[in-house]
């Protein structure tokens, strides 16, 4: 993709998020001037960016929005509901157009739609008067700076003022504050002031910095901030001119010091760190072998291994931290989609999203959207009643759907709740029996909570029931599978008549997975250790044929035996000793027969991609220390 | 050597790194009231500059370097503190 476009897609969407965040604030507090400023900035920057592409309608509507916002800002007024709605519609539409641009270009009729939106924006009734924005007072340092003889006559020429207070021991670190000052762009004047009174020469310590430097620059605040980027904790900077602008600390200026990294390089880095972990375990084997020859050499090897382990685990930690991204870009479409869905289904919905700035591993962030979107669709389509039905049931016509994201320890908790009709266990039992997913007797033995979980069975949401909205042929079973693929769990809390809450728990970091390698039909595969209950060896004769299948006894239980090689379309094992891996991922215990059990390793499993994406039962791949690729099997899918 | 005493004047020349702060302090203490000649100074470390600001010796010759002459010198010797 064109690099410029790629950059725009990233930044444009960030700006949409920023705009929506401001709109959310304004919805609650229409007079919030900081939110108006933020919305204005986002709109203004977006307008500038869309102009670079074939997006004239977007430019038109953003210009109209900007014009209205200028008016709001200038008059210190607040946005009224009509203008707010028009602004939300505008930002939503620009968001859609950004998606469309990525997919190839704006649809026909975009220009007409743009005109309509601009009309709506300019005709939306203005605005309730608010008390004028209070002038913010200058902080003490700026008051002092303005009064300095060296500086006060030059204030008129200056754009930016700064006070740099170097750490007293900065000389020891090799810092030279004066060379930083010399590098400030368009420096106009400086004043050097002692932090306390000047000491006498007899008592002065020449190697401690005892001064601050106040200065004026004709350059903009960003340029001055850039000059001091290495000492963000020692500098305060303020724009001059209108004192309405609060001085900005360089610390707030995080964006300038962040670097956008291609996520593929990050994946590669993580994979390489994973390989290091695996390579490190090779040293263990080496130490064991060395034991037989020279025990002190073996000890040294173990020490070296321990040191490498420490370093490599620190590296993995740092990479996990880098890989943790904000969920905001992933979830930014949710509010818009909720509005669109509710509208298309004739439902009145208030959607709230809390905690979208929570950070989680990129893999989690990337893969979380689909299941959450499905839950959202499900909640709006099936969970929430029509306004009429709600009123009849004694509820408010407007339903509430909420998505709440939080971190608890090393788990990411996502809760999608609605105050709709709830899941009636009796209806679910009946539905599952009707669709022949479960025997009628079995259905009756299930507790209500277990019965509600029947909705996760493949085939429970049939085509007849799936509306155009929830459709696309995926049922709740797909949600469950997606969550399980992320090593997460999902619970249902539902009270008929009162609402439903889906509670998802996921790991925050998903960088390495414990795997057991097994050999089957001549190929080595990885199985996730958390999907394995036990491994065992039994006499092959102890496996008996029952009907079409094979069973064996393990710990007084009869387990079905499946040959992994046969499941993968190869000839089965024939050795006298059967090596078995017992798993319970499908809800019942199954013994998988393999040719050999390998070792337990920590490995980073990459989601399947490319050609492998279409192969069922492949959960992902991992690169082994020797560079070979290990296929990690998805047992739930393989056994489904 | 970038700090020297010549004819009772402290000569500060070239690039004065942090290590020379101590040398300048000794020179200032041992020659109270003597002037400084900064004409050949090209770069002063903050440690050196803050000693000049604290002692405020008479400046016999101003630096030729633009930053030192136009920015630093007024800041060091202005009684703005």
Residue A297 confidence (pLDDT) above 50:
yes
pLDDT band at A36 (very low <50, low <70, confident <90, very high): confident
A231 touches chain B (CB under 8 A): no
Nearest neighbour of B76 by CB, restricted to A192, A199, A201: A192
In this prediction, residue A612 has a pLDDT band, given cuts at 50, 70 and 90, of low
Measured in residues, chain B has a length of 81
Residue of B nearest to A212 (CA): B50
**Percent of chain A surpassing pLDDT 90:** 17
Is the model's pLDDT at B21 over the cut of 70?
yes
Tokens read off for A523: 């190929």
Q: Containing H/E element for A598?
A: strand A596-603
Q: How many CB atoms lie within 10 A of CB A176?
A: 21
- CA-based diameter of chain B, in Å? 32
Contact A159, A240 (CB under 8 A): yes
CB distance A202–B22 less than 8 Å? no
pTM beyond 0.80: the answer is no
Among B38, B40, B31, B33, which residue's Cα sits nearest to residue B5?
B31
Q: Which residue has the higher pLDDT, B30 or A261?
A: B30
B49, B57 Cβ separation under 8 angstroms? no
What's the token pair of residue A17?
Answer: 């998020």
What is the token pair recorded at B1? 């050597």
Residues 113-172 of A with CB under 8 A from B: 148-150, 166, 171
pLDDT in tens, A409-447: 888 999 999 999 999 888 889 888 888 888 888 888 888
Average pLDDT for residues A513-522, to the nearest whole number? 87
Instruction: Output the pLDDT for position A593.
Output: 94
The pLDDT, as a whole number, for residue A512 is 66
Is residue A242 over pLDDT 50?
no
User: In whole angstroms, what is the distance from residue A142 CA to residue A162 CA?
Assistant: 8
Subunit contact A204:B51, Cβ cutoff 8 A = yes
Site of tokens 């002092």: A144
Q: How confident is the model at residue A613 (pLDDT cuts 50, 70, 90)?
A: low
ipTM confidence score: 0.92
A578 and A540 Cβ atoms separated by less than 8 Å: yes
The C-alpha of B21 sits at a distance from chain A's nearest C-alpha, in angstroms, of 6
Cβ-contact A15, A45 below 8 angstroms: yes
Binned at pLDDT 50, 70 and 90, residue A246 comes out as very low
pLDDT of residue A125: 54
Band the pLDDT of A258: cuts 50, 70, 90: low
CA distance A239 to A162: 9
pLDDT at A281: 75
A580, A520 contact by CB (below 8 A): no
Query: What secondary structure does DSSP assign to A150-173, as a single string?
Result: HHHTTGGG-SEEEEE---TTGGGG
Question: Residue A40 pairs with which residues in a beta bridge?
Answer: none
Q: Hey, is A194 helix, strand or coil?
A: strand
Q: Residue ranges of the alpha helices (H) in A51-109?
A: 56-75, 81-103
Chain B nearest-CA distance from A181, in A, is 10
Averaged pLDDT of chain A = 82
Nearest to A283 by CA among A265, A264, A269, A304: A304
| CA–CA separation, A382 and A374 (whole Å) | 11
* Tokens 């004066």 sit on residue: A178
Band (A596; pLDDT cuts 50, 70, 90): very high
3-state secondary structure of B59: strand
- CA separation for the pair A209, A172 (Å, rounded): 10
pLDDT band at A200; cut points 50, 70, 90: confident
| Chain B: closest CA distance from residue A253 (Å) | 26
Task: Count Cβ atoms below 10 Å from residue A524 Cβ, excluding itself.
Answer: 15
Q: Is the pLDDT of residue A14 over 90?
A: no
Q: A371, A378, A631, A618: which is closest to A518 by C-alpha?
A: A631
From A95-104, A129-138, A277-286, A294-303, the region with the lowest mean pLDDT: A129-138
Residue with structure tokens 């900064």?
B38
Determine whether the interchain pair B45/A166 forms a contact, defined as Cβ–Cβ distance below 8 Å: no
Q: What is the pLDDT of residue A467?
A: 46
According to the model, what pLDDT value does residue A126 have? 47
Name every residue whose Cβ is closer than 8 Å to that of residue A35 and which is 6 or more positions away in sequence: A22, A23, A25, A26, A29
Residues of B in contact with A194 (CB under 8 A): 53-54, 81
User: In this predicted structure, which of A29-43, A193-207, A272-286 has the lowest mean pLDDT?
Assistant: A272-286
pLDDT at A493 over 50: yes
Residue A204 is given by DSSP the state -
Sign of the Cα pseudo-torsion (A389, A392, A397, A403, in order): negative
**Does position A137 have pLDDT exceeding 70, yes or no?**
no
Is the pLDDT at A37 greater than 50? The verdict is yes
Q: Residue A488: what pLDDT?
A: 84
Crossing angle of the two packed helices A33-50 and A3-28, in degrees rounded to 10: 160
All residues of chain B having their beta carbon less than 8 Å from the beta carbon of residue A149 are: 78-80
Confidence check: pLDDT of A131 > 60: no
Q: Is the per-residue pLDDT at A127 higher than 90?
A: no
- B-facing residues of A in 192-211 (CB < 8 A) are 192-194, 198-199, 201-202, 204, 206-207, 209-211
Which helix (DSSP H) or strand (DSSP E) does residue B47 occupy?
A: helix B46-55
Half-sphere exposure (CA, 13 Å, Cβ side) for A302? 11
pLDDT digits (tens, 9 = 90+) for A145-190: 888 878 888 888 888 999 999 998 899 888 899 999 999 999 999 9
Domain ranges, ordered by start, for chain B: 3-77
Question: What's the mean pLDDT when you consider all of chain B?
Answer: 86
CB pairs under 8 A between A and B: 83
| Mean pLDDT within A192-212 | 89
Judge whether A223 is closer than 8 Å to chain B, CB to CB.
no
Residue A345 CA: distances (Å) to CA of A426, A464, A474, A556: 26, 17, 19, 54
Closest chain A residue to the Cα of B23, Cα to Cα:
A206
How confident is the model at residue A560, as a pLDDT?
92
Mean pLDDT of A469-495: 76
pLDDT band for position A511 (50/70/90)?
A: low
Residue A587 has pLDDT above 50, yes or no: yes
Using CA coordinates, name the residue in chain A closest to B46: A178
Name the residue of chain B whose CA is nearest to A173's CA. Answer: B18
Q: Do A178 and B71 touch (CB under 8 A)?
A: no
Question: pLDDT tens, A92-106?
Answer: 899 989 988 888 888
Q: Would the CA dihedral through A266, A269, A275, A281 be positive or negative?
A: negative
> Are B67 and A182 a contacting pair at CB < 8 A?
yes
Is A187 touching B (CB cutoff 8 A)? yes
Angle between helices A81-103 and A56-75 (to 10 degrees): 150
In chain A, the largest separation of any two C-alpha atoms, in whole Å, equals 101
How many CB atoms neighbour CB A108 within 10 A? 7
Cβ distance B28 to B2 under 8 Å?
no
- Residues of chain A found within 8 Å of residue B76, distances taken between Cβ atoms: 192
User: How remote is the C-alpha of A65 from its chain's centroid?
Assistant: 29
With residue A480 as reference, give the H or E element that holds it: helix A476-485
What pLDDT does residue A256 have? 42
- Contact (CB<8Å) A189/B74: yes
Instruction: State residue A339's pLDDT score.
Output: 87
pLDDT at res. A608 = 65
Q: pLDDT tier at A62 (50, 70, 90 boundaries)?
A: very high
Which tens digit of pLDDT belongs to each residue from A356-413? Answer: 778 888 778 888 888 898 899 889 988 899 999 999 999 999 999 999 999 888 889 9
For residue A517, report the phi and psi dihedrals to the nearest 5 degrees: -90, 140
The reported pLDDT for the residue numbered A266 is 74
The CA distance from A70 to A48, in Å, is 16
Q: Confidence class of residue A9 from pLDDT cuts 50, 70 and 90? A: confident
Residues of A in contact with B24 (CB under 8 A): 206
> Is the pLDDT assigned to residue A253 strictly greater than 60?
no
Q: What is the pLDDT of residue A607?
A: 67
Q: Which helix (H) or strand (E) holds A601?
A: strand A596-603
Candidates A445, A460, A455, A364; CA nearest to A412 is: A364
Is residue A183 within 8 Å of residue A228, measured between CB atoms?
Answer: no
Q: Which of B53, B78, B80 is opposite residue A211, by nearest beta carbon?
A: B53
Listed in sequence order, the residues at least 6 apart from A394 whose beta carbon sits closer than 8 Å to its beta carbon are none
Instruction: Give the strand pairing for A211-217 and A160-164.
Output: antiparallel
């Amino acid at each position: 993709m064109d690099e410029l476009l790629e950059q725009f897609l990233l930044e444009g969407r960030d700006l949409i998020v920023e705009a929506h965040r401001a709109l959310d604030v304004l919805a609650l507090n229409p007079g919030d001037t900081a939110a108006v400023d933020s919305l204005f900035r986002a709109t203004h920057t977006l307008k500038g960016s869309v102009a670079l592409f074939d997006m004239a309608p977007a430019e038109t509507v953003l210009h109209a929005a900007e014009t209205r916002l200028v008016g709001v800002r200038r008059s210190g007024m607040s946005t009224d509901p009509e203008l707010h709605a028009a602004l939300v519609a505008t930002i939503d539409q620009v968001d859609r157009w950004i998606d469309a641009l990525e997919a190839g270009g704006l649809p026909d009729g975009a220009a007409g739609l743009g005109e309509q939106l601009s009309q709506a924006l300019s005709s939306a009734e203005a605005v309730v008067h608010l008390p004028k924005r209070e002038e913010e007072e200058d902080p003490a340092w700026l008051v002092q700076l303005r009064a300095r003889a060296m500086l006060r006559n030059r204030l008129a020429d200056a754009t930016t003022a700064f006070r740099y207070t170097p750490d007293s021991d900065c000389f020891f670190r090799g810092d030279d504050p004066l060379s930083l000052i010399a590098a400030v762009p368009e420096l106009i004047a400086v004043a050097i002031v002692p932090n306390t009174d000047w000491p006498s020469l007899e008592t002065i310590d020449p190697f401690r910095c005892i001064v601050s430097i106040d200065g004026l620059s004709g350059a903009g605040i960003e340029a001055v901030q850039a000059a001091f980027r290495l000492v963000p904790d020692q500098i305060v900077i303020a724009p001059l001119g209108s004192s309405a602008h609060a001085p900005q600390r360089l610390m707030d200026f995080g964006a300038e010091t962040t670097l956008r990294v291609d996520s593929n390089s990050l994946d590669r880095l993580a994979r390489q760190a994973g390989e290091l972990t695996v390579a490190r375990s090779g040293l263990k084997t080496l130490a064991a072998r060395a034991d037989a020859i020279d025990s002190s050499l073996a000890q040294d090897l173990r020490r070296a291994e321990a040191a490498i382990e420490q370093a490599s685990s620190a590296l993995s930690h740092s990479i996990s931290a880098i890989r943790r991204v904000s969920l905001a870009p992933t979830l930014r479409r949710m509010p818009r989609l909720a509005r669109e869905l509710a509208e298309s289904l004739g439902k009145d919905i208030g959607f709230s999203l809390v905690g979208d700035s929570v950070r989680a591993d990129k893999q989690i962030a990337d893969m979380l959207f689909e299941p959450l979107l499905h839950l959202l669709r499900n909640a709006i389509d099936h969970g929430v009643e029509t306004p009429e039905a709600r009123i009849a049931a004694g509820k408010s016509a407007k339903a509430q759907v909420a998505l709440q994201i939080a971190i608890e320890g090393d788990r990411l908790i996502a809760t999608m709740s609605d105050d709709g009709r709830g899941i009636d266990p009796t209806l679910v039992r009946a539905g599952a029996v009707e669709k022949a997913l479960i025997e009628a007797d079995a259905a009756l033995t299930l507790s209500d909570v277990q019965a509600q979980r029947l909705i996760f069975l493949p085939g429970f949401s049939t085509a007849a029931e799936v509306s155009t909205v929830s459709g696309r042929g995926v049922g709740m079973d797909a949600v469950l599978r997606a969550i399980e693929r992320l090593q997460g769990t999902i619970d249902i809390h539902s009270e008929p008549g009162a609402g439903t809450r889906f509670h998802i728990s996921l790991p925050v970091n998903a960088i390495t997975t414990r795997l057991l390698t097994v050999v089957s039909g001549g190929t080595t595969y990885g199985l996730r250790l958390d999907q394995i209950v036990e491994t065992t060896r039994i006499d092959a004769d102890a496996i008996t044929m029952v009907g079409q299948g094979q069973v064996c006894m393990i710990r007084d239980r009869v387990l079905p035996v499946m040959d992994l090689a046969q499941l993968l379309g190869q000839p089965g094992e024939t050795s006298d000793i059967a090596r078995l891996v017992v798993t319970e991922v499908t809800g019942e215990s199954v013994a998988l027969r393999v040719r050999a059990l390998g070792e337990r390793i920590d490995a980073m499993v990459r989601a399947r991609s490319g050609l492998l994406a279409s192969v069922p039962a492949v959960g992902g791949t991992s690169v082994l220390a020797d560079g070979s690729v290990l296929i990690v099997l998805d047992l739930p899918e393989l056994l489904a | 050597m970038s700090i020297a005493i010549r004819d009772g004047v402290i000569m500060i020349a070239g690039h004065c790194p942090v290590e020379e702060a101590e040398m300048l302090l000794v020179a200032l203490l041992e020659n109270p009231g003597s002037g400084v000649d900064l004409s050949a100074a090209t770069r002063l470390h903050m440690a050196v500059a803050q000693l000049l600001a604290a002692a405020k010796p008479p400046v016999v010759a101003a630096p030729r370097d633009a930053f030192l002459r136009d920015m630093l010198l007024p800041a060091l010797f202005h009684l703005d503190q």
